[in-house]
Amino acid sequence: MNDLEKLRHSTAHVMAQAVTELYPNTKLAIGPPIKDGFYYDFDTEHIFTPDDFAKIEERMQQIIDGDFSFNIRYMKSDEARRYFESIGEKYKVEIIDDLGEDQVSLYKQDTFEDLCKGPHVHSTGKIKAFKLLQIAGAYWRGSEKNKMLQRIYGTAFPSKKELREYLDFLEEVKKRDHRKIGKELDLFSVQEGAGPGLIFWHPKGACIRNLIESFWREEHLKKGYELLYIPHIMKSDLWRTSGHLDFYSENMYSPIDVDEQEYILKPMNCPGHILIYKSRIRSYRELPLRWAELGTVYRYERSGVLHGTLRVRGFTQDDAHIFCTPDQLKDEIAGVVKFAAFMMSTFNFKYNVYLSTRPEKSVGSDDNWETATAALKNALESLQIPYQVDPGEGVFYGPKIDIKMVDALGREWQGPTIQVDFNLPERFDITYVGSDGKDHHAVMVHRTVLGSMERFMGVLTEHYAGAFPVWLSPVQVRVINLSDNELNFSQEIYDTLKKNGIRSDVDFSDEKLGQKIRKAQLEQIPYMLVIGAKEHEQRKVCVRHRRKKDLLTITLEEFIEKILFEITNKECN
């Protein structure tokens, strides 16, 4: 545990003391440090609201001002068990039982003592800046079979300056929340009547998604991919052969009975692509085969983790599978890495690269895992791409490269992945006829270059704060007239824009010019063409950008040339 984690863990103990003093009979569960702060789970009859934070923080500050030392003592497990049982701390008793150790440690500050491995800062006075942030429900042990507890999140920093910077960051995160922007810009919704975790794309959101998907298809065709479509349900036996029923069943929906046969909503596209490969004998001369699909899949996610378009139950993967020979593997991986990098730069994302190795729960021989991992590593090193090793984060059938997008706020998001798989070719006996006339197992590469469309759209929305580049904007230009005298000329401008393939609309309302401009800015429309008497007379347009106050008066032809250049070159202004 580093110094910042120690500080935050200590602050969690101070919060637990304050809560138990203010709300007697509160039972304590766990309170660890986490990436951006800490939390503690409480079992209490009191229903916490943000209105309670001021009172809890006030008591916490008093404890901090008391500068109480964090003192450790050790107890035999059976003695500690009796102690916590005597004070009604049933969750601590369960933790001791689960630890199965002869001895446990307890930490005490002031009058408060808690079961804890530590470590902590020297004393409560070392806590200089903290803030309680939010409340959430959390099942004990993460199981829906257990009681729902109340979790209070907070954060702590070594200085008030760092805390202030972090709170400002959180405010910016709130402003960019894709759920908020999605509603304001009318991009998508989750419909209660249909169920949680299912996204409904409205016309403007569907427009953006279609633009991304069209670009995706064009680039795949350029790079030698062929496009596939497969069904949404397939027989259970297929998922038994693939290993998903053994290793992934908790994320799959229950079978559907069709004509006394079990079918399952597909959680992955790969078995369907494999069936197409196996529809006839393949020769080494055909390989590599690069097959891509925008394939919709369905995975069970607990309701508590669903989050806008970022965590859903039905989503469309920009999926592809490459079937190749072992000799072709390195070049194919390198090609996908370069493809993914191109896609990231097109959408103006920086990114970090991780090599994810074999998880504890996996299938396949050690030799295959080592070969697959080496192929991924060699491809990255041949391209001189810096990467970090992420131990145990591969998928059950093979290691992978994870390319994580870094947004405008510096946050990482899961994006492209490249996975080498020797397992499914063996399970499905995926072979090709080699130059020696014998059958050989093909190597399979699973890959995405964006991730799921739902998640990518959510990340993209937050990255741009809804101000999408011109080429992705549902409405690229709004024509605004100053008075009825300019109606005919404004309509002519609108018609010309449409003929040139520029997505446009008009605001011919009776509102004042300032109100019209403000409305267009709130809708994040990149360009406004303001038409007044002067523009009408000169047959020009007054161009206003959503972020710039300076106005430019040019001919419509000049404006069309300018915006088409931005669209064609996918500029991210």
Distance between CA 474 and CA 41 in Å, rounded? 44
Q: Where are the beta strands (DSSP E) in 430-558?
A: 431-433, 439-441, 443-452, 477-481, 504-507, 527-531, 541-545, 551-554
pLDDT level of residue 442 (50, 70, 90 thresholds) = very high
Distance between CA 451 and CA 38 in Å, rounded? 30
- pLDDT, position 422: 86
Residue 313 CB coordination number (10 Å): 20
Helices assigned H by DSSP within 283-408: 329-346, 366-382
- Asked whether residue 549 carries a pLDDT value surpassing 80, the answer given is no
Task: Choose the catalytic residue: 318, 319, 402, 421.
Answer: 319
- Asked whether residue 550 carries a pLDDT value surpassing 80, the answer given is no
- pLDDT, position 304: 79
- pLDDT, position 113: 95
Token pair 């190749």 is found at 324
Residue range 217-238: average pLDDT? 96
> Is 270 marked active-site?
yes
- Asked whether residue 373 carries a pLDDT value surpassing 80, the answer given is yes
Q: Which contacts of 48-52 are long-range, i.e. CB under 8 A and separated by 24 or more positions?
A: 48/135, 48/150, 48/152, 49/135, 50/134, 50/135
26-46 pLDDT, tens digit each: 999 999 999 999 999 999 999
User: Which of 11-15, 395-399, 406-410, 568-572 has the weakest average pLDDT?
Assistant: 395-399
User: Which of 3-7, 288-292, 357-361, 524-528 has the weakest average pLDDT?
Assistant: 357-361
> Is 116 marked active-site?
no
- pLDDT, position 315: 95
Structure tokens at 305: 């983790």
> Is 202 marked active-site?
no
- pLDDT, position 200: 97
Degrees to nearest 5, angle at CA 348 with 347 and 352 = 105
Token pair 């005490």 is found at 108
Instruction: Report CA-CA distances (Å) from 532 to 482, 490, 542, 556, 563.
Output: 5, 9, 8, 14, 21
Helices assigned H by DSSP within 151-233: 160-176, 178-184, 203-222
> Is 59 marked active-site?
no
Residue range 342-355: average pLDDT? 96
Residue range 162-174: average pLDDT? 96
462-494 pLDDT, tens digit each: 999 999 999 999 999 999 999 999 999 999 999
**Residues recorded for the chain:** 573
Distance between CA 346 and CA 233 in Å, rounded? 34
- pLDDT, position 363: 79
Among residues 512, 506, 513, the alpha carbon closest in space to that of 487 is found at: 506
Which of helix, strand or coil describes residue 465?
Answer: coil
* Mean of all residue pLDDT scores within the chain: 94
- pLDDT, position 309: 95
Beta bridge partners of 18: none
Task: Choose the catalytic residue: 116, 270, 324, 542.
Answer: 270
Token pair 């729960």 is found at 361
- Cβ atoms of 496 and 560 within 8 Å: the answer is yes
- Asked whether residue 21 carries a pLDDT value surpassing 80, the answer given is yes
Among residues 137, 138, 455, the alpha carbon closest in space to that of 312 is found at: 455
Residue range 411-429: average pLDDT? 92
> Is 495 marked active-site?
no
> Is 400 marked active-site?
yes
Sign of CA dihedral 520, 525, 531, 532: positive
Task: Choose the catalytic residue: 400, 455, 536, 540.
Answer: 400
- Asked whether residue 18 carries a pLDDT value surpassing 80, the answer given is yes
Task: Choose the catalytic residue: 299, 447, 455, 544.
Answer: 299
Task: Choose the catalytic residue: 9, 321, 358, 546.
Answer: 321
Q: What share of the chain is helix, strand, coil (3-state, %, to 5)?
A: 40, 30, 30
- Asked whether residue 397 carries a pLDDT value surpassing 90, the answer given is no
Task: Choose the catalytic residue: 109, 150, 317, 524.
Answer: 317
Task: Choose the catalytic residue: 81, 204, 220, 446.
Answer: 446
Amino acid identity of residue 319, one-letter, is D
User: Which of 258-272, 355-369, 419-433 has the weakest average pLDDT?
Assistant: 355-369
71-108 pLDDT, tens digit each: 999 999 999 999 999 999 999 999 999 998 999 999 99
> Is 9 marked active-site?
no
Please name each of the domains of the chain with its CATH number: 3-173 (3.30.980.10), 183-464 (3.30.930.10), 470-568 (3.40.50.800)
What counts of helices (H) and strands (E) characterise the chain? 18, 28
